[in-house]
Amino acid sequence: MDAYVARQPIFNRRKKLLGYELLFRDGTANYVPDMDGDVMTSTVLSNTFFAIGMDKLLGGKLSFINFTQNLLLQKLPMLMPKATTVVEILEDVEPVPELIEACRQMSRKGYTIALDDFVYTPELKPLIELAKIIKFDFRLSTLEEIQSYLGQLPKTCKPLLLAEKIETNEEFKTSIDMGFELFQGYFFCKPEIVKGKRIPEAAINLMQIVVEVNKTDFNFKNLERLIAPDVSLSYKLLRYINSAFFSTANRIGSIQQALILLGQVEIRRFISMITMSNLAKGKPNELIRAACIRGKFCEMLSGISSGRAAEGELFTLGMFSLIDAIVDQPMVKVMKALPLSDSIKDALVRRKGELIDYLRLVESYEQADWENVSTAAARLGVDEGKLPDAYLRACAWSNTFSKEPE
């Protein structure tokens, strides 16, 4: 059975990444009829932890995982590493004495207990006392209902409050005002648009470098002309080419030499990451990770789809799908400033055209919207069985370029 796994980031108030909730699905277009949910979840978890390897997905961060009533009674979470596993108790779990005792044992062993999609009832009090984290779904409950539930929590309990499905910066700020300390959702992927703000010339130059380097056969002289005036980028490029990784016999002192030695593939990889990181200063590091994953995932779709889109074009599509959030400007304004192909602009601005299904597939996968993943994959002629490996490789690749600051 293939393990379909998507991850959704969880942040603290400083928008620093704490971990990911992992969302699972089996490897078929639809769930296998009459298959026991606990068996399926156990199989997928086993595949994920022991076959895939969690480093590719987590990069050293916490994993938040939902467990059913039966799996909690079987104490399955205790097979997972306690230092990195948050045990999420689903909202439909019945707090019977046997389950409460199993959760107490897990808590005593050092596992972090979290209550998912919390709605207060008195019967939940024993689990509330064990929980280190309580999650409130901002789409499932109104702000008034959430305030009511918060007021009913025992005064002796001081769990971390996690706001789930936060999709805008306004919701992020509202949840902070309500006392929440952890946040889950894609609010960091939305631009904080300021009216009248212009895109700085330096930012446009950086974006043009990314465009140039991701052309199918880019021009070395054009690229050198764009890089040379940027002192920071030039320094990082020369430091990289002169590092021990390349072990060059003589020190490289020119941009031209560095570009020739790196070659097209390595240049494309290095320059794209460095320039996008420079553009995203002051933004959550996860924003760059997300852009990296989208870029690499889109690129890999070129090799497993029946479409004719070029790898470089798809990489650019994925990377630039978050550029509005990176520079805090409307997508239409950013696209006007860049010499990108009409097919990329159609997908990013007008959400249509020959490339839109690639973008929809990637976006749906990261949100664990499996139905739309299947729809987009069918339109592109993509073998769904190859998607999990492509996504995991994209996650692993992004980890080599995006490191959480200390």
- Exposure b/e, 291-312, CB count within 10 A at least 16 = b: bbbbbbbbbbbbebbebebebb
Q: 215-222, long-range: CB within 8 Å, 24+ apart, which pairs? A: 215/312, 216/310, 216/312, 216/313, 217/264, 218/264, 220/256, 220/259, 220/260
Q: Which 3 state secondary structure label does DSSP give 17?
A: strand
pLDDT tens, position by position, 70-97 = 999 999 899 888 999 999 999 989 999 9
What pLDDT, on the 0 to 100 scale, is given for residue 39?
64
So what's the pLDDT on residue 235? 84
Which residue shows structure tokens 């997928």? 44
What is the mean predicted confidence (pLDDT) over 271-281? 82
3-class SS of residue 135: strand
Question: What pLDDT digit, counting tens, does each position of 375-397 carry?
Answer: 999 999 998 889 988 998 898 88
pLDDT at 29: 44
- Asked if pLDDT for residue 206 goes beyond 60, the answer is yes
| d(C-alpha 138, C-alpha 100), whole Å | 27
pLDDT > 80? residue 46: no
Q: Which residue has the higher pLDDT, 228 or 34?
A: 228
Confidence of residue 360 (pLDDT cuts 50, 70, 90): very high
Angle (CA) 339 345 346, round 5°: 150
Tell me 123's DSSP state. G
User: Domains in the chain, please, with CATH?
Assistant: 4-189 (3.20.20.450), 201-399 (no CATH)
Which string of DSSP letters, residue by residue, matches 156-207? T--PEEEEES--SHHHHHHHHHTT--EEESSGGGS----TTPPPPHHHHHHH
Distance in angstroms (rounded) separating the CA atoms of residues 163 and 175 = 7
Which carries the bigger pLDDT value, residue 250 or residue 119? 119
Whole-number pLDDT of residue 136 = 97
pLDDT of residue 44: 58
Query: What burial class does residue 78 get, using C-beta atoms within 10 Å of its C-beta: 0-12 exposed, 13-18 middle, 19+ buried?
Result: middle
Residue 153 in this model has a pLDDT that exceeds 80: yes
Contact 365, 297 (CB under 8 A): yes
Residue 401's pLDDT is 59
Q: What is the mean pLDDT of the chain?
A: 86
Question: Two tokens at 359?
Answer: 């973008």
Q: What is the pLDDT of residues 125-146, one digit of tens each?
A: 999 999 999 999 999 999 999 9
Integer Cα distance of 206 and 315 in angstroms = 16
- Cross-strand partners of 88: 66, 114
- Considering the chain, what percentage of its residues have pLDDT values greater than 70? 88
Per-residue pLDDT band at 22 (split at 50, 70, 90): confident
Instruction: Give the model's confidence band at 283: pLDDT under 50 very low, under 70 low, under 90 confident, else very high.
Output: confident
Which region among 44-58, 228-242, 266-280, 361-375 has the lowest average model confidence (pLDDT)? 44-58
Please determine, for residue 30, whether its predicted confidence score (pLDDT) is greater than 60.
Answer: no
pLDDT score of 402: 53
Tokens for 350, please give them: 């007008």
pLDDT at 380: 95
Please report where in the chains the tokens 């798809």 appear, as a residue.
314
Least confident segment among 47-56, 64-73, 191-200, 311-320: 47-56
Rounded to whole angstroms, the Cα distance separating 65 from 89 reads 9
| Helix %, strand %, coil % of the chain (to 5) | 55, 10, 35
> What does 231-282 look like in DSSP terms, one character per residue?
HHHHHHHHHHHTSTTT--SS----HHHHHHHHHHHHHHHHHHHHHHHHHTTT
C-alpha 235, offset from chain centre: 29
What single DSSP character describes residue 367? T
Give the model's confidence band at 41: pLDDT under 50 very low, under 70 low, under 90 confident, else very high: low
pLDDT for residue 86: 96
Task: Kindly state the average pLDDT of the residues 303-307.
Answer: 89
pLDDT > 60? residue 36: no
80 DSSP 8-state letter = S
* Cα–Cα distance measured from residue 148 to residue 296, given in angstroms and rounded to the nearest whole number: 44
Choose between 244 and 19: higher pLDDT: 19
Per-residue model confidence as pLDDT tens digits over 108-120: 999 999 999 999 9
Q: Which of 103, 104, 116 lies closest to 66, judged by CA? A: 116
pLDDT at 229 over 90: no
pLDDT higher than threshold 60 for residue 181: yes
pLDDT at residue 405 in the model: 39
Say whether pLDDT at 57 is over 50: yes
pLDDT at site 214: 79
- The CA distance from 262 to 246, in Å, is 9
Under DSSP, is residue 10 helix (H, G, I), strand (E, B) or coil?
strand
